[in-house]
Structure 1
Amino acid sequence: MAFILFEIWRSRIGNHHVTEHRERHLLIVVILAIVLAGLAIQICANAPGELIAFTAAGFATLMAIGAITSVVQWKVSVHTAVSAGITVILMLALSPVWVLALSGTPVIGWSRVRLGDHTTGQVIAGGLVGAFIAGGTYTLFS
């Protein structure tokens, strides 16, 4: 958020929602660098495997969303990706009962479409990317 506010101050980002596609490229790189640095610290500090797996899942999901946003030029919903991804990780790590929390993902998606920030396809894609990439990466690393 500090980076976003700094870029708003420099007039390189229009608002804290970063709604303009062209404003997202550098932000994606900065976020990926921060998460990668955190992952490196966790590995060097011998953090619990579940924590490393969780962070790796977040990094992989952000990489996929970043690639879709930057290469394909399509603004996939990070909100639905996070909701679905975290829910799948909770199902894998704690209990299958967390599947009930997936009911919140369509509500988040609906709100993103209603606000005009995404299309229905973009929120569905975000949910699928989050569920499959985060869940798969968490399983791979845990």
Structure 2
Amino acid sequence: MTEAKPAPSRTRHALDRLARVITETLAPAVLLSVTILAVAGHVMATEGWAALAWGAVLTLFGAVIPTIYIVRGVRRGRWSNHHVTRRESRTRPLIVAALSILTVLILASVGDAPRLLVAMTVTGLVNLLVLLAITRWACHKISLHSSVAAGSLAVLATTYGPTLWFAAPLMVAVAWSRVHLREHTFLQVLTGATTGLLAGAVLFPSLL
């Protein structure tokens, strides 16, 4: 007769719930949308309401359209959930997201969008292409959550000032949630955070 496994403790249940809340509330699409609109709000001081309009357009192409594509794929049974947990299944959503961002980048360039928003769009596209390459050819399930969290923090700190680096615990919380939920390993979230920081703290300022 086999011995019954002990039930998970209340602490474990609480940590599981906390990790899920962090994973969903600080998901890539959410953070990206908030970051774009925050940068657009900063630009409004000099560019007026046109900056906010461009921010809405960038949010649509950079976050909303890719999310809609993924949700439709989940409903059709193409992926198990909206996080597309299997590495092998991530190539197509990443390509769609890259094409969507490339489209809005062309529109922003032709439409004379604020330089700060164009720089952010280029940064996001380059980082996404790096994530795609690592996922597709390095066979490494890099964490998009960690990459977007780190990149968003770096972009906002560059835009609003270094004081925002004090929000770094949120970036750590995102990485912890992905590891705790066993969606990623420590190395995978570390790699994701590294690509995001390089994009947001190095590439983004160089484009301004």
Alignment match of 2:84 (pick from 18, 35, 38):
18
Structure 1 runs (4+) deviating above 4 angstroms are: none
Alignment match of 1:125 (pick from 191, 203, 206):
191
Task: Point out the more displaced range, 109-118 or 128-137.
Answer: 128-137
Q: State the 1:20 CA deviation.
A: 1.3
* TM-score (norm. length: structure 2): 0.65
**Do residues 102 (structure 1) and 175 (structure 2) align?**
no
**Do residues 48 (structure 1) and 111 (structure 2) align?**
no
* TM-score (norm. length: structure 1): 0.93
Mark the structure with the bigger radius of gyration.
Answer: 2
Q: State the 1:46 CA deviation.
A: 0.2
Task: Point out the more displaced range, 8-17 or 57-66.
Answer: 8-17
Which residue of 2 is the match for residue 76 of structure 1?
Answer: 142
Partners of 2:172 and 2:155 lie apart in 1 by 17
Q: State the 1:8 CA deviation.
A: 2.5
Which stretches in structure 1 are left out of the alignment for 5+ residues?
none
Partners of 2:186 and 2:88 lie apart in 1 by 21
CA contact (8 A) 1:69 1:76 kept: yes
Which residue of 2 is the match for residue 29 of structure 1?
Answer: 95
Q: Percent identity?
A: 30
Cα RMSD after superposing both structures: 1.2
**Helix, strand or coil: the match of 1:73?**
coil
Which stretches in structure 2 are left out of the alignment for 5+ residues?
1-66
Partners of 1:15 and 1:96 lie apart in 2 by 36
Partners of 1:69 and 1:119 lie apart in 2 by 14
Q: State the 1:99 CA deviation.
A: 1.1
Q: State the 1:5 CA deviation.
A: 2.5
Q: What count of residue pairs does the alignment treat as equivalent?
A: 142
Alignment match of 1:93 (pick from 159, 165, 170):
159
